């Protein structure tokens, strides 16, 4: 049975980036990010928040152009326009989640903030960050459920509007960051073109940090995103 779902975190965030055509150079190198202030100094490391943060508080902890460096431009948020319905086909684990779960599971937490940046130094790549907050007993288990469902299907298909996209997934080793972490590599095939994208999620206390996009850009900015999200 096919289930329709509103695009939210995880699969849909990657679909939106891939169909935009701006992540085509996923193997390009990215400039090194400046080291987080707390790196190598435990005394300066922020203690993860244990109580849920509001969306307003989360928005202040998103990466910005100053954090990313030269060559990055924040894309204007388009509201619901970038949350088109997504149909998942051929992945029982995702379909079993039902409703919004087919695209993002229960990760559509009410407290959230997001930003997407294009990197214009000749690569045409994008990197997106999403921050979510909820109680720890909901944040961790719900995130784990969706990532396990997504990586449990090596091949499946999503349809955005009338456009079918083949998806191949690969579970990656989780980074040694935060309290819990998950990572995956996805290859989207549409119109005879492959787009390789990476998505990594890190839970630090009651805050979930998700960075998606070109693998090189995700690797470059993940630690900075986690550090800033912890306040």
CB 113 within 8 A of CB 131: yes
- If you average pLDDT over residues 23-48, what whole number do you get? 47
Using pLDDT thresholds of 50, 70 and 90, give the confidence band for residue 51: confident
169-197 pLDDT per residue, tens? 999 999 999 999 999 999 999 888 898 99
Name the residue among 141, 143, 198, 195 with its Cα closest to residue 170. 198
Helix, strand counts (H, E) of the chain: 6, 10
Poorest-pLDDT segment among 13-17, 153-157, 173-177, 224-228 = 13-17
CB neighbour burial string for 146-177, b if at least 16 within 10 angstroms, e if fewer:
bbebbbebeebebbbeeeebebebeeeebbeb
93-146 pLDDT per residue, tens? 887 775 444 444 446 688 999 999 988 865 568 899 999 999 999 999 988 888
Using pLDDT thresholds of 50, 70 and 90, give the confidence band for residue 41: very low
Q: What architecture (CATH level 2) is domain 3-26+48-229? A: 3-Layer(aba) Sandwich (3.40)
Residue position matching structure tokens 């049975």: 1
pTM: 0.81
Residue position matching structure tokens 């960075």: 211
Choice between 117 and 76, residue whose per-residue pLDDT is larger: 117
Give the torsion sign (CA, 118, 21, 110, 176): negative
Q: For residues 172 and 185, what is the distance between their CA atoms, to the nearest angstrom?
A: 7
Does position 37 have pLDDT exceeding 80, yes or no?
no
């Amino acid at each position: 049975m096919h289930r329709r779902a509103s695009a939210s975190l995880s699969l849909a965030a990657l679909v939106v980036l891939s169909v935009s055509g701006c992540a085509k150079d996923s193997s390009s190198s990215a400039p090194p990010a400046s080291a987080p202030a707390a790196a190598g100094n435990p005394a300066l490391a922020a203690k993860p928040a244990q109580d849920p943060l509001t969306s307003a508080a989360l928005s202040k902890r998103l990466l910005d152009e100053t954090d990313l460096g030269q060559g990055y431009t924040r894309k204007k948020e388009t509201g619901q326009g970038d949350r088109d319905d997504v149909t998942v086909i051929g992945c029982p684990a995702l379909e079993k989640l039902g409703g919004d779960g087919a695209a993002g599971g229960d990760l559509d937490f009410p407290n959230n903030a997001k930003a997407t940046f294009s990197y214009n130094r000749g690569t045409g790549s994008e990197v997106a960050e999403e921050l979510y907050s909820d109680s720890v007993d909901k944040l961790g288990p719900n995130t784990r459920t969706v990532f396990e469902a997504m990586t449990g299907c090596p091949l499946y298909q999503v349809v955005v509007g009338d456009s079918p996209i083949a998806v191949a997934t690969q579970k990656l080793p989780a980074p040694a960051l935060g309290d819990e972490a998950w990572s995956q590599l996805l290859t989207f095939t549409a119109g005879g073109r492959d787009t390789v994208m990476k998505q990594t999620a890190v839970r630090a206390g009651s805050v979930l940090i998700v960075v998606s996009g070109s693998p090189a850009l995700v690797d470059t900015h993940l630690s900075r995103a986690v550090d800033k999200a912890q306040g």
